[in-house]
Amino acid sequence: MKKRQLLLSAVALLAYGAVSACTNFIVTRGASTDGSVMVSYAADSHALYGALYHTAAGRYAPGTMMPVYEWDTGRYLRDIPQAAQTWSTVGNMNEHSLIIGETTYGGRAELADSTGGIDYGSLIYITLQRATTAREAIALIAELANTYGYASSGESFSIADPNEAWIMELIGKGYKDDGKGGNARRGIVWVARRIPDGYVSGHANQARITTFPLDDPENCLYAPDVISFAREMGYYEGPDRKFSFADAYCPADFATVRGCDARVWAFFRTVADGMDAYEDYAMGYNLKNRLPLWVKPRQKVSPKTVFDCMRDHYEGTPMDMTRDLGAGGHNCPYRWRPMDFEVDGVTYLNERATATQQTGFWFVGQARADRPADTGILWFGVDDAATSCLTPIFCSAQEVPECFSEKNGSMLSYSPTSAFWLFNRTTNFAYMRYDMISADIRKVTDKWENDHLALMESLPARIGMMSDEARRSYLTEVSVSTAQELFDRWQRLNSYLLIKYMDGNVKSEHGDVLSYLDGDGSSAHFVDNGNGRDIPDKIQFPGYNEKWKRAVAADNGEVLRVVK
């Protein structure tokens, strides 16, 4: 009965699953192999077009105004005064190697403010244009939300610079008429904690900060009314020192832990020891066994490890999405929405892993204190992280590659030169025979990412004594040309996969996908019958996996059984 009740509570996950769908992992300087601070982010939405945003630096005269549009919907919110000076940004990183990612946790519904003038997305991109460090960003986010009113629900931010990494969690105060047609509660309550150097952290659509130190401004910052407001609203009655932000403003339940915190647990168990002790929490069965806010990895974490952790489907755990019957006959780790289903009055869930089909874009930002701030790297990709690839975009790049441009296609208009559409076309084909096709894609991804990670290590020697202007021009050109090279390579991969796996068959080949892409891509790569007519030979018919065959036999064996 207990597990049945837990499964029924998964229905709550659907209420915010459409918007609460992003994942952040954070690695501090002392925890990384190259001394970089890293933040990963997957912007997951069924309506988001995967593109790379860019704003140029600027200087503005007093009185200049800038419009604010809600990031998720494009809805105009208001105008706010423009800053006197703004910084160049590309994606979720600016020229000072400041990185901001987010995940929406929703929280208490009554704290939403429909009159708010700035949403969570605008907070990110406006802050990137105005701040240079993580601490500046935290202060500016609070100032903007308190000044103009907060238009979104509860939010967690990853905020990092070359030296520090923070988690900031915030939520609005709801609406209370001030008697003048305004909101007497305008603004947010919030808390931010610095992740200790040498540790890793993460968040995924569930508030993660519980108790926090009240007298350590070097490592913990918070709104002056974060506790008193909770008392006013009846969310908390105990002493200040025991106050938990997450428990007050976003109480955990089965749905938010299984569908959200479980993704952080999957990251932690990959890089740190002892995480199996929290398996019952990750599965939503023991909410008292709370996952820690940060953990110390067993060894320093490489950028490639972070890349690959964003590709997780709970492999090797009881929630492994490749193993149950829902994975079909080819171990596909995806479950199409809705996120639950009912059988004989009992509701069951579909797992929500880190890698998901509806990703618009994703990245791993790297900020390094041992290099010029404008050489920070935003490793950027579009579509499902498990079957797509990251390419290096320097944080000071002054141009967006055409294949990643916001103006190149949309969710409602296909473009043959858009990386988002190319990667989606390849990935959706891979879902057909996932066990085999995804393995070919992964070979290409691993080679590309490993090769370019190695190239980035030689960057200091390449930029040498360049002037700031020459360096920025060079980094822009490298960012654009490398992204286009990836696009061209994926075009060839797309053709290769169609030839090899068309109609569910598998053509035999000389070599593998890498030899095809690195060769001339001719028909000679595939095995033919030797008659000089390009007719394939030794075509393979792999069939389905054992679990699928047994399920079909159990379901319809009386009809399908061969009679001797």
What pLDDT sits at residue 14?
38
**In a 10 Å sphere around its CB, with 0-12 CB exposed, 13-18 middle and 19+ buried, how is residue 402 labelled?**
middle
What pLDDT sits at residue 19?
41
What pLDDT sits at residue 7?
35
- Asked if residues 408 and 476 have their Cβ atoms less than 8 Å apart, the reply is no
Helices (H), 431-467: 434-457, 459-463
Residues whose CB is less than 8 angstroms from the CB of residue 306 and which lie 6 or more positions away in sequence, other chains included: 25, 27, 38, 40, 364
| Reported pTM | 0.95
What pLDDT sits at residue 520?
86
Q: How far apart are CA 448 and CA 426, in angstroms?
A: 17
Residues whose CB is less than 8 angstroms from the CB of residue 72 and which lie 6 or more positions away in sequence, other chains included: 19, 45, 47, 48, 119, 121
Per-domain residue ranges of the chain = 2-349, 362-525
Nearest to 379 by CA among 305, 461, 490: 305
What pLDDT sits at residue 221?
98
Alpha-carbon distance values, 483 to 379, 380, 477 (Å): 10, 9, 10
Beta strands 165-172 and 188-194, pairing class: antiparallel
What pLDDT sits at residue 11?
36
Q: Which element (helix H / strand E) includes 362?
A: strand 359-368
**C-alpha 311: how far from its chain's center?**
10
Helices (H), 131-284: 134-148, 226-232, 245-249, 254-256, 262-271, 279-282
Residues whose CB is less than 8 angstroms from the CB of residue 496 and which lie 6 or more positions away in sequence, other chains included: 440, 513, 516, 517, 521
Residues whose CB is less than 8 angstroms from the CB of residue 472 and which lie 6 or more positions away in sequence, other chains included: 374, 396, 398
Please give the torsion angle defined by the CA atoms of residues 342, 347, 352 and 356, in that order, rounded to the nearest 10 degrees: 10
What pLDDT sits at residue 464?
86
Q: How far apart are CA 244 and CA 290, in angstroms?
A: 13
- Amino acid of residue 129: Q
Question: Cis bond leading into 338, ω under 30°?
Answer: yes
**C-alpha 253: how far from its chain's center?**
22
- Amino acid of residue 173: K
CB atoms within 10 A of CB 304: 16
Q: How far apart are CA 152 and CA 332, in angstroms?
A: 34
Structure token pair of residue 23: 């994942």
**pLDDT truncated to tens, each residue of the chain (564 aa)?**
333 333 333 334 433 343 447 999 999 999 999 999 999 999 999 999 999 999 999 999 999 999 999 999 999 999 999 999 999 999 999 999 999 999 999 999 999 999 999 999 999 999 999 999 999 999 999 999 999 999 999 999 999 999 999 999 999 999 999 999 899 999 999 999 999 999 999 999 999 999 999 999 999 999 999 999 999 999 999 999 999 999 999 999 999 999 999 999 999 999 999 999 999 999 999 999 999 999 999 999 999 999 999 999 999 999 999 999 999 999 999 999 999 999 999 999 999 999 999 999 999 999 999 999 999 999 999 999 999 999 999 999 999 999 999 999 999 999 999 999 999 999 999 999 999 999 999 999 999 999 999 999 999 888 988 999 999 999 999 999 999 999 999 999 999 999 999 999 999 999 999 999 999 889 999 999 999 999 999 999 999 999 999 999 999 999 999 998
